[in-house]
Structure formats: C-alpha cells, structure tokens
Amino acid sequence: MHLTKQLELFPDHRVTQMLFKDVKNAAELRQSAVKGQISGALINPKMLVNPFQVLVATNKSVHLQKTGKMKTRSLYSEIIFSLSPTNNISEAFKKFGISDGDDSVMVVLVHSRDESQLLSDIAAKVDGLQIPVEDVSLLSDLAKIKKLYKVTPQEEKCGTLLDAVVCRMATKDVM
C-alpha cells in the first residue's frame, strides 16, 4: 500500500508515502501535526498529481535542511512549503496541508531505515481507509492544480501536467 523510496542524493534517508481516504478525524490529525505529535507531513491529496511530486518536494526539503537553508521551522512543514509554486508560507499550508473538513490525506514520512513501527503508529492515528499511493491521481483536483500552478494549455502540449508542476516547484526560488 505505502510507497518507500530511498533518496539517491541522501542514501541514509528514505521517504514513505501513505494515502488514506474516508478520513473522519482530519481536524484531530491536523491539531496533532501542528503540536508536533505526528512526525510526518500531512498533505491534501487533491493537490497532488503523482507520488513523484512528493518525492521532488521531499528531496528539496532534505537538501535545504542539510544546508541550513529551510524557510520554515521543520522538515515536514518544509515539504508542504516545497510543494507550493509561491513563496507564501501560510498560503502553502492552506492549499497543500490538510484542512479540518478534508476526507483524504497523504502522509509523508522521512526516516533512516525500514521503520515499520513508525508506519503502523501513523496508520493507527488515522481514522480512515488506506489505499495504494498510486491512486492519488484518482483524487487530484486537476482544475485547481492547473489554476494554482498557473499551467497554460500550450504548456500541456509540450509535456504532462506533472512535468509542469515539478518544474515550477524546482524553480520557484528564482522566479
């Protein structure tokens, strides 16, 4: 169900993504994340096109953490911020973090080895149904994504929506 990937640039870091739908305790989850009781990033899956998008954001965040150049306070908030095409932190949380009324959530964890304990701990906290991470594309709100990332129809002709989104995430700090 979950997807774990080692970061080539940081071989001692692994990223695990877990996707849940029919979530009933989004408000509670968000609260614990804000308090720092959940060691993971809670992302609104409607704004995701593909798990690769999360990998790009996580790789960038780990890199910024290592170089001491993070814009936000923690690695997990940095992942949410890295997903956003703008440099506005509160807007990034609003759009890419989960909101109280949400019924689906993508949980992103960064860990060193295979930590199945960590995964089951998180899964126990979410009151929802875990589904394969690849199914995130079924949840995406394409119209909203295109609007937020300002993807033009002509750009979609020369590449996929994922290409356009990833490009904007990777280059936003110099735009």
Partner 1 sequence: MAQEKSVAVSDFLSKAELIKQGAEARVYRSEFLGKSAIVKERFPKRYRHPVLDERLTHRRTVQEVRAILRCRRAGISTPVVYFVDYTSHCIFLEEIMGSLTVRDHIASIQQSDSCKEQELEHLAECVGHILAKMHDEDVIHGDLTTSNMLLRHGLEDGESSLVLIDFGLSYISALPEDKGVDLYVLEKAFLSTHPNTETLFDKLLKSYRASSKKSSAVIKKLDEVRLRGRKRSMVG
Nearest distance from C-beta of residue 94 to partner 1, angstroms: 24
Is residue 71 a contact point for partner 1 (CB under 8 A)? no
> Which CB sits closer to partner 1, 30 or 60?
60
Nearest distance from C-beta of residue 137 to partner 1, angstroms: 16
Of 130, 125, 100, nearest to 21 by C-alpha is 130
The size of the interface with partner 1 (CB under 8 A), counted in residues, is 30
Residues 38-57 that bind partner 1 (CB under 8 A): 52, 55-56
Task: Supply the angle between the helices 161-171 and 51-66 in degrees, to the nearest 10.
Answer: 10
CB-based burial label for 109 (10 Å; 0-12, 13-18, 19+): buried
Is residue 112 a contact point for partner 1 (CB under 8 A)? no
> Which CB sits closer to partner 1, 37 or 171?
171
Is residue 111 a contact point for partner 1 (CB under 8 A)? no
Task: Supply the angle between the helices 89-96 and 75-83 in degrees, to the nearest 10.
Answer: 80
